[in-house]
A and B are shown apart, each in its own frame.
Chain A
Amino acid sequence: MGRVVTVTSGKGGVGKTTATANLAAALAALGHKVVAVDADIGLRNLDVVLGLENRIVFDVVDAIEGRCRVRQALIRDKRLPELFLLPASQTRDKDAVEPQQMVEICNQMREEFDYILVDSPAGIEGGFRVALAPADQVLIVTTPEVSAVRDADRVIGLVDAAEKGPAQLIINRVRPDMIRKGDMLGPEDVVEILAVNLIGMVPEDEAVVVSTNRGVPLVMDGGHAAGRAFNNIALRISGREVTMTDIQQDDGLVARFLRFVRQG
């Protein structure tokens, strides 16, 4: 039986869709059968980040409303045969899907897939609740900025209240140089403030912009710091132990921070 992992954030623009695309691709590259579900109805984007926008025929709303079978709405990624996309509808709005319908469609896909990654819309309204409803595991993406951390805190509370917790945190766009200078919240600050488990950190990386331009997830490209970080998170999702940081080694704060973030 597959597991539903919902990726959400509260604040928009912190990298939810990038995280979903890369985690889905990384899990597929590890040999798991994965479907990435775009639950941001009306603001479809997971398709372009994955580079699959030209192959959409049906979408998640078509499947829910019975205009096609779920299987017909799924797009197989030719680069990673174990990776599929269930795209959002671009013409409908986020009230087009009820939480129970999302639960049912995810339950159908559990039979066939190991992981069902749901990309939630920003915010804490209906669309977020639809994306949360089927979740077995919730990942919250934030950046080390006060506004993003504050919104993440609100979402962590809502996830707990919905008995979907404990949520796990991804800190995105980390800049070790700024942290060292005392100009950015460090991962340990964010974890202390939010009192939540960290599942990974992703360094700020220009390669993310390039990969989105091309529609090739970073983890398919290899060699980039952010891609390695997403790979490590995928390994942790699949239950493998990947060291986050080694505080035993005493070779100076700078080296430790760099390693802390690179291993993210």
Chain B
Amino acid sequence: MGFFSRIFGRGEPSSRDVAKDRLQLVLVHDRIRIPPSQMAAMKDELLAVVSRYFDVDSDGVAITFTQSSRMNRLVAEVPVFGNPRHSADR
């Protein structure tokens, strides 16, 4: 994969870019060191808490890690429809 085709975004990404993406992904998991089972449990618990306050689109939930420098950040995206109790009170 040549330099110019990378610049203009044609064809497959270079092995350099693939290596970078793969490393960044694997290091996120190396650094947080949480097994997938615990990750799933945390997602369920988070969802249970949010569901007490909002109607939640549970299929749209995305929990990811990002990092800036060597700090990890947990990012949870939870699509909500509004407060079910609030509407029930009316």
A193 contacts chain B at the CB level, 8 A cutoff: yes
Interfacial residues of chain B within 14-52, with CB under 8 A of chain A in the complex: 14-17, 19-20, 22-24, 26-27, 30-31
Nearest Cβ on chain B to A205's Cβ, whole angstroms: 21
Tell me which of A59-67, A109-117, A184-192, A234-242 binds B: A184-192
Q: Which residue of B lies closest to A182 (CB)?
A: B14
Query: In the complex, what residue of chain B is closest to A153 when comparing beta carbons?
Result: B27
A184 to B23, CA, bound (A): 13
Query: Are A185's CB and B20's CB within 8 A?
Result: yes
Report which of B2, B20, B30, B70 forms a contact with A195, defined as CB distance below 8 A.
Answer: B70
Cβ-neighbour of B30 out of A145, A154, A179 (below 8 A): A154
Q: Are B3's CB and A180's CB within 8 A?
A: yes
List the B residue with the shortest CB-CB distance to A157: B31
Cβ of A195: which chain B residues have Cβ within 8 Å of it?
A: 67, 69-70
With an 8 A cutoff between CB atoms, is B76 at the interface? no
In the complex, are the beta carbons of A150 and B16 less than 8 A apart? Answer: no
The answer to whether A186 touches B16 (Cβ under 8 A) is yes
Cα–Cα, bound, A194→B16 (Å): 16
Contact of B20 with A189 in the complex, beta carbons under 8 Å? yes
Q: Of A183, A184, A185, A193, which contacts B27 at CB under 8 A?
A: A193
Residues of B within 8 A of A79 (CB): none
Is A181 positioned at the interface, with any CB of B under 8 Å from its CB? yes
Q: When A and B form their complex, which 7 residue pairs have the shortest distance between CB atoms, in order from nearest?
A: A182-B14, A195-B69, A182-B16, A195-B70, A182-B1, A189-B20, A183-B15
Query: Given A145-B19, A157-B70, A253-B3, list of 14 further CB < 8 A pairs?
Result: A146-B26, A149-B23, A150-B23, A150-B30, A153-B27, A154-B30, A156-B70, A181-B3, A181-B14, A182-B16, A183-B1, A185-B23, A189-B19, A193-B20
* Residues in B lying within 8 Å of A, measured CB to CB: 1-3, 6, 14-17, 19-20, 22-24, 26-27, 30-31, 67, 69-70
Of the A-B pairs whose beta carbons lie under 8 Å apart in the complex, a sample of 12, sorted by A's number, is A149-B23, A150-B26, A150-B30, A179-B16, A180-B3, A181-B2, A181-B14, A182-B16, A183-B1, A184-B15, A184-B16, A195-B67
